């Protein structure tokens, strides 16, 4: 593993545009279960996955009921807001500070990359801490609305201040389109990156799982080197989309890569 860590550190130092794609495996060391790993939410409770597939239809049919359930139900989503970043998140934040990471495109809705300090985060599946207008995609901090009061006075759902459309959680439900702004910016990022780190994802869900394929096929000019950091091989590994996989925990491997980068950059400085 050490040689792959060294190789990845070298790649990052020489890279002009590195992008990190992340999934739920990044947050398991923060106490948030993933979905399809051995202890995943869907692995342990396939019924919960079926329910999740209904959320978007429920919202479209009855936004008021969707909101009442969201505010009165006991869902794992409320637990997310208490979670804290782990060393894997901090390692990616450090790479951005060192100007060696241009952006993070995450499937995670837990806001942990932002809590760890990353400034350029594309929340591909939305963000639990935001609301979004169903019509114009404007996002709001929930604090801008007195949601408890709207519930108590039977005045849900909240409406957009810009276009008066109905608001929903920013979370992208199954069958819901990826918000256009995030989708466009993500495609631009993967189309120009020369190094891509893919951390903690089974790469099972589309269209996110298309992003590494886009990087591989359409990256302009330079060939893109794709490095997976994951507990287990994925379809990206099996199909040769990733150039190599560092099999291990993101909370262990990513800090080791940052350590190696620091070692090499300080050695280079001393040589000058
Ligand atoms: N370090 C590295 N890899 C890990 C770790 C860890 N600490 N913990 C788990 N993993 C791996 C698992 O083995 C699995 O391969 O991370 C991957 C997580 O895969 P999923 O559970 O499928 O999560 P993800 O790929 O993010 O799912 C994508 O599916 O249900 C939807 O919207 C949901 O965004 C989610 C999407």
Task: Kindly list the distances between the CA atom of residue 6 and the CA atoms of 29, 236, 249, 254, 263, in Å, as whole numbers in the listed order.
Answer: 24, 22, 17, 12, 10
52, two tokens: 């999740």
- Which pLDDT does position 1 carry in this prediction? 83
Per annotation, catalytic residue among 89, 113, 125, 173: 125
Instruction: Decide: 205 in ligand 1 pocket, CB within 6 A.
Output: yes
Residue 219 confidence (pLDDT) above 60: no
Please tell me the distance from the alpha carbon of residue 112 to that of residue 104, in angstroms, as a whole number: 11
Listed range (31-35, 139-143, 221-225) with the worst mean pLDDT: 221-225
Please tell me the distance from the alpha carbon of residue 128 to that of residue 145, in angstroms, as a whole number: 15
Residue 249 confidence (pLDDT) above 90: yes
Residue 252 confidence (pLDDT) above 90: yes
Listed range (14-23, 84-93, 248-257, 262-271) with the worst mean pLDDT: 262-271
For ligand 1, atom 28: residue with the closest CA: 205
Q: Cβ distance 110 to 121 under 8 Å?
A: no
Q: What's the whole-number mean pLDDT along residues 227-232?
A: 98
SS3 label, residue 193: coil
Residue 118 confidence (pLDDT) above 80: yes
27, 171, 231, 251, best to mutate for ligand 1 pocket (most atoms within 8 Å of CB): 231
The proportion of the chain whose per-residue pLDDT surpasses 70, expressed as a percent, equals 96
pLDDT tens, residue by residue, 56-73: 999 999 999 999 998 998
Instruction: Decide: 250 in ligand 1 pocket, CB within 6 A.
Output: yes
Instruction: Decide: 10 in ligand 1 pocket, CB within 6 A.
Output: no
**For residue 79, how far is its CA from the centre of ligand 1 (angstroms)?**
18
Place of tokens 């929903």: 168
Instruction: Decide: 28 in ligand 1 pocket, CB within 6 A.
Output: yes
How far is residue 200 CA from its own chain's centroid? 10
- Which pLDDT does position 81 carry in this prediction? 85
Residue 220 confidence (pLDDT) above 60: no
Q: Cβ distance 14 to 192 under 8 Å?
A: no
Residue 105 confidence (pLDDT) above 80: yes
- Which pLDDT does position 268 carry in this prediction? 74
1, 20, 21, 25, best to mutate for ligand 1 pocket (most atoms within 8 Å of CB): 25
**For residue 242, how far is its CA from the centre of ligand 1 (angstroms)?**
16
Task: Indicate the pLDDT class of residue 18, thresholds 50, 70 and 90.
Answer: very high
Q: Cβ distance 170 to 141 under 8 Å?
A: no
Per the annotation, the verdict on 89 as an active-site residue is: no
Task: Kindly list the distances between the CA atom of residue 20 and the CA atoms of 36, 78, 164, 189, 252, in Å, as whole numbers in the listed order.
Answer: 20, 26, 36, 10, 16
**For residue 112, how far is its CA from the centre of ligand 1 (angstroms)?**
15
Q: Cβ distance 180 to 79 under 8 Å?
A: no
**For residue 251, how far is its CA from the centre of ligand 1 (angstroms)?**
14
């Amino acid at each position: 593993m050490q040689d792959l860590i060294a190789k990845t550190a070298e790649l990052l130092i020489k890279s002009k545009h590195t992008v990190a794609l992340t999934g739920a495996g990044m947050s398991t060391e923060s106490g948030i279960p993933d979905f399809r790993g051995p202890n995943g939410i869907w692995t342990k409770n396939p019924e919960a996955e079926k329910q999740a597939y209904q959320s978007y239809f429920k919202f479209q049919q009855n936004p008021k009921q969707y909101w009442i359930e969201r505010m009165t139900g006991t869902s794992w989503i409320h637990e997310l807001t208490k979670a804290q970043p782990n060393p894997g998140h901090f390692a990616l934040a450090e790479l951005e500070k060192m100007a060696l990471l241009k952006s993070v495109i995450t499937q995670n809705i837990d806001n942990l990359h932002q809590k760890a300090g990353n400034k350029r985060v594309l929340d591909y599946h939305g963000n639990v801490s935001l609301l979004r207008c169903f019509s114009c995609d404007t996002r709001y901090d929930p604090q801008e609305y007195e949601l408890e009061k709207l519930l108590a006075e039977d005045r849900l759902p909240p409406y957009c201040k810009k276009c008066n459309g109905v608001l929903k959680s920013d979370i992208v439900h199954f069958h819901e389109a990826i918000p256009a702004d995030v989708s466009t910016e993500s495609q631009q990022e993967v189309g120009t990156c020369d190094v891509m780190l893919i951390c903690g994802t089974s790469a099972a869900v589309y269209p996110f799982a298309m992003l590494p394929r886009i990087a591989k096929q359409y990256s302009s000019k330079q060939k893109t080197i794709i490095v997976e950091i994951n507990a287990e091989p994925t379809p990206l590994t099996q199909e040769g989309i990733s150039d190599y996989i560092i099999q291990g925990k993101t909370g262990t491997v990513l800090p080791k890569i940052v350590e190696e980068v620091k070692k090499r950059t300080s050695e280079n400085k001393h040589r000058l």
